[in-house]
Amino acid sequence: MEGKFVEVRQRWGRRTNALGVLKSMRAVAEYLLHSRPTTLYPFEKNELPENFRGVLVYDIEKCIGCGACVLACPNKCLYRTPGPKTERNKPGIYISFEPTHCMFCGLCVEACPPVSGALSHSKVVSIVSEKKRIVWQPWEWAAFTQLAREKGWEYDAIDYDRVEHLVKERAEQIKKALEEKASAGAKK
């Protein structure tokens, strides 16, 4: 009786091994005959969906300084920040941003009045840096936004330590342009 049991078990073992081999061969054949289910990153990149929520970008020209985004942010990573006056000589209120504390929830984008449309998501997946904390002044955030668009930064994580000098340089230009507009407005 025991001998018969061992024989059945061995036969069943051989059968399941054969099934496993057939399944593996089928998977290899499928892989060879059909397109690959993976991409050869970083040489190939997937299309990101339209509603992908990447690193937030900020159009400083469109911001009306209402602060709705600041109130909406559950992580407290947006701050109202004074800056150059507006063209109509009103106090300039802009928004600073801490990208290292953002969780990409998008609540600030929803809160931003459509008439302004100053906030949106880029397709930059994340910001990486040796620094534990990054705080962008409004003009730095606007500079990152412009550079991301111009340089087609998307899909990847951006090594911020390598691009920081570009952001700072552009931020200076943006702030200067705002100050010039403010002083032109004051003269009117």
Residues that bind ligand SF4 (CB under 6 A): 56, 63-69, 72-73, 75, 77-78, 95, 102-108, 111-113, 116, 118-119
Minimum CB separation of residue 52 from ligand SF4 in Å reads: 13
C-beta of 156: minimal distance to ligand SF4 in Å? 19
132 or 187: whose CB is closer to ligand SF4?
A: 132
Asked whether 58 and 142 are in contact (CB, 8 A), the reply is yes
CB of 82 to ligand SF4, least distance (A): 13
β strands within 19-111, DSSP E = 56-58, 78-83, 92-97
- Residue number, 13 or 91, with CB nearest to ligand SF4: 91
**56 with 122: CB under 8 angstroms?**
yes
- Of the two residues 2 and 50, which places its CB atom closer to ligand SF4 in the complex? 50
* Other CB atoms within 10 A of residue 87 CB: 14
Whether omega before 74 lies within 30 degrees of 0, making that bond cis, reads no
- Whichever of 106 and 185 has its CB closer to ligand SF4, that residue is 106
- Cβ atoms of 142 and 174 closer than 8 Å: yes
Could you tell me if 91 and 81 are in contact, meaning their C-beta atoms sit under 8 angstroms apart?
no
Q: How far is the CB of 135 from ligand SF4 (least distance, A)?
A: 12
